[in-house]
Amino acid sequence: MSASSISPGARPAHGIRRLAELVASYALVATTLAVLAAVLVLHWTGQEQAARWVGSAFALAMAAYTAVGMARDLLRGHWGVDVLAVTAVVSTVAVGEYLAALVVVLMLTGGEALEEYAGDRAGRELRSLLERAPQLAHRTHPGTGELEDVPVASIRPGDRLVVRPAEVLPVDGTLVSEQATLDESSLTGESLPVTRHHGESVISGSLNGGWAIEMVATLPAAESQYQRIVALVAEAQDRRAPLVRMADRYAVPFTAVSLIIAAAAWAWSGDAGRFAAVLVLATPCPLLIAPPVAFLAGMGRASHSGIIIRGGDVLERLADVRAVAFDKTGTVTVGHPSLVEVRAEPSHTGEEVLRLAASAEQYSSHVLAGSVIEAAHEAGLVLESSHEAQERATHGVTARLPSGEVVIGKRSYVAEWTGPIQAVSLSSGELAVYVAVDSAYVGALVLRDEIRDDARSTLRDLAGLGVQETMLLTGDAQATADHVAADLGIAEVLAECLPEDKVRVVERHPLRNVMMVGDGVNDAPVLASAHVGVAMGARGSTAASESADVVVMTDDLSKVALAVSIGQRTVSVSRQSIWLGIGLSVGLMVVAAFGFIPAIVGALVQELVDLASIGNSLRARTAGRKGSFRPSAVLAKTVDGTKVSGG
């Protein structure tokens, strides 16, 4: 219903309901304002004694309420800035400045309300993901062909769905319609709509364009892209950062300086009011509010770019990253190896080697297995089945086929059955899979997995952000890893390593603050143990995404550098806001010490300090050290249908 259709009589009722909601949401602020108004009325009507008693009693009650939480923190060994707030209220009441005491209480309660409001503004990208999650889907009944509305959770792979205009795709699937125009900005951060064609994959969370489309579900809702994002966002919102109370690190020195200035002003002037005036200006609202606002802003900025950061503590760790380790396949390479050549021994033909290799690879979960099987199908080869097969993770597969016992995998693995094997020569970007039948080496498959276009630029961006060392950790053969590392300029390489080897390297690295970037199931342990684990979640495994601290929801390696930049920016802005609040407060305290700022005026001036700190914290919504981060691999811009590189 539009605003113009609301009847005049309904408008006041709507306004009253809205006011009641605000009062309920910010009860302490509303109560403080009501008491302050009552005290002012008493003061202006000449009932000074009553005004003093009401104002002082309420201020002391609020100080006691704050002191209870402060005492719990002190018992846990946490000395916080709440000590100053309580001291300011008590001292102003003690010297008769009850109006100033009420303003300090209003600052404390209003500060919390302002934090909630600013955090709501800064975190709207995070919540928008949750709010847009579809609840129903339009499924075509397999028997009648009629559309039925069903809960999204009931969708299963193979279900045929209709997505109407302006609806969100409920699950991952394959497009049946000839074409679809989809807005994927909530997932990828790319503002321009994308066009998908018949047979292409479409991801849940995309917003459909101007006409209805048909699709076939390939994953249930719980495993689809959008629901994974929603789950990660929900978890991220529930986690608090240690840096949110970073101001507590400054609490002891700031409290000491404030008390020294206040005591010196009192001793020098003989006026206890100076003591109260100084402590009013020492009230630490900017220190309490600014850091959490900055962290919410940083997490919102990341989410808008297709990066899910699982908690503010991760932002702090991202800012400290000094070394980055990459998995190879699917991380710095495209992850879709293609068969280049079959190098068969004289005893077998190339087709026979490929057929046997693909038959055994049917029982492997490795990314290379799919490429070998696909190549065999394209060649029209008929594969054999096995009732006995075994895979040794990251090494290879042994399968007992009608044609014999086939072993396929790394050279060292196959050599355990055949004896020493001569390594085949490889070009840059190539890798070899060795094949043996009945303990006899029969040949090798040479595949090529291209390096990502954005891999080199990402490494340059990370170096520019202060990363001192990069590593390549992979289960692939040494020769293949060396080729890729040389092309990328990575000096440190660990090849043919198991998941536990990766964990050991990352945990024992001398720089300590190591970020690991990976995408496979075998990367899950090292992602969990690294200082920061980053999962390339667009094509990566659920296990990798669940164990990582950061999930890049698009197939874009440059987002790794962007995540580091956002972490650095957020922590930097948070610290700036704290020092801004401290600097302004100390400067104003010195002025108040000489009697130029009365307590009541100081309380009002401190509100401006609050606003300055919060405004500065919201700058964390822009990534990069100097306002915005622009990766070397700048996204191509489209002008009149022609792609051009933009800077």
Q: Beta strand 323-326 with 469-473: parallel, antiparallel or unpaired?
A: parallel
From the candidates 159, 248, 327, 549, which is the catalytic residue?
A: 327
Contact call for residues 371 and 338 (beta carbons, < 8 A): yes
Residues with Cβ within 8 Å of residue 333, at least 6 apart in sequence: 429, 449, 450, 451, 452, 455, 484
Q: What is the pLDDT of residues 277-286, one digit of tens each?
A: 888 887 666 6
Per-residue pLDDT, 320: 92
Give every strand in the sheet of 430-437, ordered side by side.
Answer: 338-344, 440-448, 430-437, 404-409, 396-401, 388-392
Q: Is the pLDDT of residue 441 over 90?
A: yes
The pair of structure tokens assigned to 593 is 């010490």
> Would the pLDDT of 523 be above 80?
no
pLDDT at 634 over 50: no
Q: Is 320 helix (H, G, I), strand (E, B) or coil?
A: coil
Q: Compute the Cα dihedral for 377, 383, 388, 394 and give only its sign.
A: negative
Residue 321, pLDDT > 70, answer: yes
Q: In DSSP terms, which residues pair with 215 in a beta bridge?
A: 161, 175
Q: Does residue 607 contact residue 600 with C-beta atoms inside 8 Å? A: no
Q: Which two tokens stand for residue 416?
A: 């355990």
Pair of tokens at residue 254: 């700031």
* pLDDT, tens only, 456-508: 999 999 999 999 999 999 877 787 788 888 889 998 999 888 778 888 898 88
Report for 22-36, 151-165, 569-583: range of highest mean pLDDT: 151-165
Res. 631: pLDDT tops 70: no
Cα separations in angstroms, 411 against 215, 434, 444, 480: 43, 6, 9, 12
Tens of pLDDT, residues 2-53: 344 445 555 556 567 766 766 766 788 889 899 999 999 998 998 989 999 9
327 is catalytic: yes
pLDDT at position 120 is 57
Taking the alpha carbons at both ends of the chain, their separation in whole angstroms is 44
pLDDT tens-digit map of 80-120: 667 777 887 888 888 888 888 888 788 777 766 755 665 55
* CA pair distance 78, 72, nearest whole angstrom: 9
Distance CA 289, CA 613 (A): 8
Which band of pLDDT confidence, cut at 50, 70 and 90, is reported for residue 544?
low
| Domains recognised in the chain with CATH numbers | 135-167+172-218 (2.70.150.10), 312-334+451-548 (3.40.50.1000), 341-448 (3.40.1110.10)
Confidence of residue 638 (pLDDT cuts 50, 70, 90): very low
Tell me what pLDDT residue 405 has: 93
Retrieve residue 456's tokens.
């080199």
pLDDT of residue 131: 63
**Cβ-proximal residues to 502 (8 Å cutoff; 6+ apart), any chain:** 325, 473, 494, 516, 523, 525, 526
Q: What is the pLDDT of residue 15?
A: 62
Asked if the model's pLDDT at residue 309 lies above 90, the reply is no
By CB atoms closer than 10 A (0-12, 13-18, 19+), residue 108 is buried
User: What local confidence, expressed as pLDDT, does residue 543 receive?
Assistant: 53
CB atoms within 10 A of CB 2: 5
Residue 1 confidence (pLDDT) = 39
**Mean pLDDT for the chain?**
81
